[in-house]
Amino acid sequence: MKIANIFESIPKNFEDEFTDLLAQNEKVRIERIVSKGHASPATGWYDQEENEWVIVLKGAAIITFENDGDIKLETGDYLYIPAYTRHKVKWTVPELETVWLAVYY
């Protein structure tokens, strides 16, 4: 049994948002995403063919939904994003890492 910690193995400085694959099979993909002031590109939307369940475990973020406007997520907040729900990350807190856990299925 191999343990890891979701808040560890984060570089002190990183330029781009990064993603780690934590677990995967043919049904599901579990990822850690680490942001620090990052946001989605100004144009375009995430428009995924998978359902996503996402939780912010550290930091804070604002997700913009095409049909629902802005939603702020603080530590511990989670959200279900059905497939083909257009959204983007508008903001993540710049002073510290925002750690997301995302389950795609």
19, 66, 96, 105: which one contacts its own copies (CB under 8 A)? 105
Q: Confirm or reject binding of residue 20 to its own copies (CB under 8 A).
A: no
Minimum CB separation of residue 42 from its own copies in Å reads: 21
CA distance linking residue 92 with residue 96, whole number of Å: 9
Q: Confirm or reject binding of residue 101 to its own copies (CB under 8 A).
A: yes
DSSP 59: S
Residues 31-50 that bind its own copies (CB under 8 A): none
22: helix, strand or coil:
strand
Tokens of 76: 């511990």
